[in-house]
Amino acid sequence: MLFRRAAHCCCVPTGKPGKQSLWHLIVPALMSAGISVIFYSNVFARSPDTENSSINCSAMVVAIDIGHSIQAPGTRSARGVPEYIFNKRQATAIVEEAGQDFPNLHVIILNDQGRNISLRQRVQMSVNAGASIFISIHHDSAQKRYLRQWTYKGKSLDHTPAIHGFSLFISPQEKNGPSRHLAAEIATRMIAAGRVPSDHHAEDIPGERRLLLDRFLGIYAAPFGVLVRSAIPAVLVEFGVIRNKDEEAQLAKPAMRQKLAKALLQGIARFCRNDPAGCDGCQR
Ligand SMILES: [Zn+2]
């Protein structure tokens, strides 16, 4: 969920490419500095499928930002589950999928412990880790006017039957930049996986009015903190509307998380293959 927040998440400073050799220096430095970054090496993972193996990156680092924190968990689902739980489960699925099918991608999770760290810190952690791509993981809600009461397990909760679908956000400065290309590749893969984009954030109502760049791919521009601060391609992904009880039920399934994880990583892989100049660290 992102509305009603002047600044949400993501990236900017000088993200340098992820070279495998560099990792041997970076990881011990991070650990000694007490920085909570989890490193998942896929170098020894099993052989990739044809498309995934076409990446020309020797060891590209993808930083995954789990949106929100345990203390400030974001929105809540139609069944009362905090958004942070959905975000963390999806981030974990991305790491697992990368380990299975994307040996050229090093996926790291920022804020794995769910600490209440600032947006600036999240971006700085991605820079420190040598990330080439920044992805912020979120799940969406809807404005009050679209909420209806329902009863779940004896509790009165609210849900939206009207709003569903995924949305991708990039920095306004990146409207024609690498982040736009990255978002388009991810959206294309999510649609191929059976998901639908949403244009509800562009509606002319309080709390929305976001700049919709591509209605068919669900891509918006918004000055969220992690996006405007990032110097590397950065996309904030709202995987779906968990305040919609039907979509929540779909997104809660491990098989769906795995499918979405694969779509995301395929989008990143395709982006790197087609636009290596925008994907710092590729072809080195
Ligand atoms: Zn959120």
pLDDT tens, position by position, 227-283: 999 999 999 999 999 999 999 999 999 999 999 999 999 999 999 887 655 555 443
State the distance from the centre of ligand 1 to the C-alpha of 50, rounded, in angstroms. Answer: 34
Distance from Cα 240 to the centre of ligand 1, integer Å:
11
The rounded Å distance from CA 19 to ligand 1 centre is 31
Q: How many whole angstroms from 268 Cα to the centroid of ligand 1?
A: 21
Q: How far is the CA of 114 from the centre of ligand 1 (A)?
A: 13
> How high is the pLDDT of residue 9?
28
CA of 99 to the centre of ligand 1 (A): 25
> Cα(53) to centroid of ligand 1, in Å?
32
Distance (Å) from CA 18 to ligand 1 centroid: 27
Higher-scoring residue by pLDDT: 280, 197:
197
pTM of the model: 0.81
pLDDT of amino acid 32:
40
Q: What is the pLDDT of residues 10-51, one digit of tens each?
A: 222 222 333 333 444 443 444 444 444 443 333 222 233 334
Q: What pLDDT shows up at residue 1?
A: 57
| Distance between Cα 46 and ligand 1 center (Å) | 33
Distance (angstroms) between ligand 1 centre and the Cα of 25 equals 33
Residue 69 pLDDT > 80: yes
**Domain limits, the chain:** 20-278
How many angstroms separate the alpha carbon of residue 277 from the centre of ligand 1?
30
**Cα–Cα distance for residue pair 277/75, rounded to 1 Å:** 36
Q: Which DSSP string corresponds to the chain? A: --TT-S----B-S-PPP--HHHHHHHHHHHHHTT--EEEE--TTSPPP-TTGGG--BSSEEEEEEE-S-SSS---B-TTS-BHHHHHHHHHHHHHHHHHHH-TTEEEEEETTT-----HHHHHHHHHHTT-SEEEEEEEE---GGG-EEEEETTEEEEE-SS---BEEEE-GGGTTSHHHHHHHHHHHHHHHTT--B--GGGSSSTT---EEEETTTTEEE---HHHHB-SS-EEEEEEEETTSHHHHHHHTSHHHHHHHHHHHHHHHHHHHHH-GGGSTTBT-
Question: 172 alpha carbon to ligand 1 midpoint, in Å?
Answer: 19
Distance 13 CA to ligand 1 centre (A): 22
Beta carbons within 8 Å of 149's beta carbon, 6+ residues apart: 156, 157, 158
What tens digit of pLDDT does each residue of 125-181 get? 999 999 999 999 999 999 999 999 999 999 999 999 999 999 999 999 999 999 999
- The average confidence (pLDDT) of the chain is 83
**C-alpha of residue 67 to centroid of ligand 1, in Å:** 6
Domain 20-278 part of CATH 3.60.21.10: no
